[in-house]
Structure 1
Amino acid sequence: MSERSLRGTQLGSRSLESEAGVEPAPRQLVEYRCEDGHRFSVPFSVEADIPAQWDSGTHGVGLRVDGGATEESDVKPVRTHWDMLLERRSFEELQVLLDERLAYRRGDLPAAN
């Protein structure tokens, strides 16, 4: 197996490509401040949505210094089975169905298919 491997290469070796002519993506530094006054900066892409909070890793969660807009959650409220049922039938229709099924269970009505 060693005959087939390239000489001078190893796992985790450096890339043989040069970085000449490679331009990094545009970045912006966003400054955050923790409750204890600790300030730190985090680099983000200029196209990124900047979060209002960031964990410094040592001093806790920091808030944006520039007072950027707080994030609004786009999470839809959870729809329950009852909510979906009310979208298909009115409360009065459901009451009629319930009364019919209870009467059937009591033996007052024959089975309806």
Structure 2
Amino acid sequence: MAGGNAIRGTRVGAGPMGESERGESAPRRRVSYWCANGHESRPSFAVDAEEPESWDCPRCGLPGGRDQQAPPNAPRNEPYKTHLAYVKERRSDADGEAILAEALAKLRAQREG
């Protein structure tokens, strides 16, 4: 006895699917973008759509611009900062000493009480 699958032998996406089923595609234009490594990307956009100023290169991931002679610079990667580095940006040494003295006084009061 068969498995009872009424549409046996078919799957999603099977069969011809042309413009008659999808509808007509919008008129398109290709725009060239160049990254700092010299790679060219040519995404297509609808004719009435506004194209972005930059486009990420699919080969290296750097941003690409429309001017081949002056592509955008690679973004600068900041090194990883520790929690202590962020605290030192917000607080001065005097602030740290005052907070430490306050915390120590609180601990001493708890131990005595």
**Band the TM-score falls in, shorter-chain normalisation:** 0.3 to 0.5
Please report the TM-score for the alignment, with normalisation by the length of structure 1. 0.42
More strand by share: 1
More helix by share: 2
Please report the TM-score for the alignment, with normalisation by the length of structure 2. 0.42
